[in-house]
Amino acid sequence: SLPLLVFLHFAQHSCIGTMWWSVFAVCLLLAVVESSSNHAVKSLHITSDIKNRYATTHVTSRVANTGDKANKVPFYVTFPDSAFLTEFAIEENGREIKATLHKNEDIKDLDKEFGEDVLSVFVRDANQFAVLVNVEAKAEVTFKLTYEELLSRHLEIYSHNIHVNPQQIVDDLKVTVNIEEPTIITYLKVLKFHGFSNVFSRDNDKDSEIATIENKSPQSKVIVWAPSADQQRAMNAKGIQGEIVVQYNLDRLEHAEPYLVDDGHYFADFFAVEALPSLKKHVIFVIDYSYSMEGEKFEEFKQAMDVILPYLSAKDYFSIVLAQSFAEAWSPSTLYRKGPDTQDEVDREEMLKSEHNLTDTLSPQFLVEASPANVELALKYLKEAELGGSYLMGGLKTAVDLANLGADQWNSESDSPLPLIVFLSDGQPTIGEVDEAVIVNQVTSLNTKHVPIYSLAFGYYADYEFLRKLSLNNHGFVWKVYRDEDASQQIVYYYKHIASPVLTDLAFTYFPTKVEEVTRHEFPVFFRGMEIAVAGKLKDAVTENDTIGELTANIPSVSEAHNHSIPVGRKVAGNSAEKTFAFLKLRQLLGELHRLPEDSDKSSLEEKIENLALKYSFMTSLTSLVIEKPDGSKTVAEFTPLKQAPPLEKTDLKKISWLKEYLTDDAADHVSVTLKEHSYNLALKPGEETFGKCNVNYMSGECRHFQKCALAIFEDDVAEFLPYKCDIAGDYLGACCPFHVS
């Protein structure tokens, strides 16, 4: 399902010396719109203050109406979907109006105002906030926006992404990143400015030639990226669109964790360890081998597996399960196949046709050693296996059964392989159980050994919400894999996050006499290169020399759990630990809310989320910004994440089934067609002219003659076309053609 399009729109109007304001916020799928010529971005300053991993980013932009009459001018900021928007204000003529945060329930009767023609580009894993303001001729307006996030550590790197998208040359453009950490910064790199697509291109890994780095101390750095107008033109003559990425890492002693306590008596623990060897693992790959994988996606997947399988250690084990019209597990000598209970005789006979040995019983032969010979055979199998339906329940059940089989097989070993399930899907279930809520419940019930399930949502049609709920309920997490030139690299990159487990059953146990409240503190697996953050509130009686808790974890080389005391930690100025606590707690509560079944009572959990969000001014799905106008009326704003535009392809007019009866005269310039009891002229030899901007399914485009935008999705059902229909003078049939359709 597509997300709702919601706006936060500011407009100012002047009438006999009085002014009124309205507000909107937006998250678009895709809109490639030429920059308006009636405004100029005079300055764009983005400043990120990173303190103890917590990043607060301030965006300030001064925009002028260069026209001779009042006009709308835009302000748009793209920010990571892991961040919370916390402040927004607009300033004009020395007066500033700030948005305030409210519970949605408290403002449900207020108006929600919507805007149009907002400039946007698609950015992965991001939200977009956009504003249009009606500004007097030759006047200026200043926008101020703040968002906050706790930086995550993956593959030994903290990454801070700053999106810069003014869509015009800006004479005063400056990005500043201030980093202040409690330990020595051992690695710091500013990547070359790059666009929003093909992010994993090798060219994007080069150092920035524009950024400067000031070394204030071993723990403190200042990065400034301020391209001149000429440098911006060299990157994009119409204005830069892309991101600056700052990467860094910190010095760590073996088994040492920095514990921080801020001025508010909140603490934050940051745990990471690099010195331990990787655990032996049993990786179970569950692959959605449905027909929708055919073509480029299938090639991209195979390219990824060409890297992933050889990346396994020789001591590892792996299993491959394909979810097609039946569930199929591979071994070098035999294939396991099993269909749904509803499978008819014809489908069963088809399933049993194979040149391989077949069985309907899982056995240890499907727990395959990751030897070079077996890896080569597995890659050959993946290239030759046929696509089919999408029996996801069967594939996931087979994976859990294999994990249980492995646990029983290696039960007596002191370093038995750690089971991990990696699930890649590009669509929805079509065979067997198709109710996704039922699939989540059944898999979770079957997964009695709590094997983590890590999901990859591949492409536009992958059901991300289903995969997210599945992984959250089974101790894992989910990533989006976007259709782009670097799709295979995305898959490899995310797999590497979980390729090297080093600890299991990690638990931070805090003494109730020392700690009042704490965020999530139990973690089933710790992977090399990551960091776990736990935060909470100390009780007043805690002193500097106190021990506030105990850290335990299972280490394969030690027969018993490893215990480590947790000291109070070093004192740091400010409130970064409290902000870390609030951020982690809110993310935890939102995750718990998402895990709940749709028909469950969510009121108590929602109230906790609302109260925490209001306390720290975090905009969430349950809280919205409100602007109070000078006349006392109020306007509400809410927004949803960006989503990649669907892969739309053009088709031949004669392939559209519901038009065939009208296409009998190839020499005609146009024919008459009837849709919903109305007659239209269908131009068969139209020109390249367009007939105004339009929006369809949250995509911006232009109205064109139907012949110029006959899409493949229209072929079988006229209902698929109707949302795209636009009218052209002379009763000609038009289609709203999204800008990204070639």
Nearest partner of 330 among 338, 341, 322, judged by Cα: 322
Q: In the CATH hierarchy, which top-level class contains the domain 39-250?
A: mainly beta
Residue 34 makes CB contacts below 8 A (sequence gap 6+) with: none
Q: What is the pLDDT of residue 633?
A: 65
From residue 601, how far is each of 82, 596, 598 by CA, in Å?
A: 26, 9, 9
Query: Tokens 């990696």, residue?
Result: 422
CA atoms of 592 and 713, how far apart (whole Å): 37
Nearest partner of 400 among 434, 449, 358, judged by Cα: 449
Pick the CATH number of 260-276+503-616 from 2.60.40, 3.30.950, 2.60.120, 3.60.21: 2.60.40
Query: Tokens 């929602």, residue?
Result: 606
Q: What is the pLDDT of residue 36?
A: 44
Instruction: Report helix angle 296-311 to 372-384, nearest 10.
Output: 170
* Alpha helices by DSSP H, 85-216: none
Convert the pLDDT of each residue in 423-479 to its tens digit: 999 888 999 999 999 999 999 999 999 999 999 999 888 899 999 999 999 999 999
Residue type, 261: V
Q: What is the pLDDT of residue 6?
A: 30
CA atoms of 735 and 650, how far apart (whole Å): 12
Residue 555 makes CB contacts below 8 A (sequence gap 6+) with: 276, 503, 562
CA atoms of 324 and 342, how far apart (whole Å): 15
Convert the pLDDT of each residue in 185-210 to its tens digit: 999 999 999 888 778 777 778 999 99
CATH 3.40.50.410, the chain: domain bounds: 281-499
What is residue 580's three-state secondary structure?
A: helix
Question: Do residues 246 and 159 make contact, with C-beta atoms less than 8 angstroms apart?
Answer: yes
First to last CA, the chain: 24
In sequence order, the β-bridge partners of residue 430 are none
367's tokens: 């727990």
Pick the CATH number of 281-499 from 3.40.50.12780, 3.40.50.410, 3.90.1150.200, 3.90.1150.10: 3.40.50.410
Low-confidence ranges of the chain (pLDDT < 70): 1-37, 111-121, 254-258, 556-569, 629-633, 637-641, 698, 742
Q: What is the pLDDT of residue 203?
A: 73
Nearest partner of 393 among 325, 456, 452, judged by Cα: 325
- pTM of the full structure: 0.84
Q: What is the pLDDT of residue 739?
A: 77
Number of C-beta neighbours around residue 509 at 10 A: 16
CATH 2.60.40, the chain: domain bounds: 39-250, 260-276+503-616
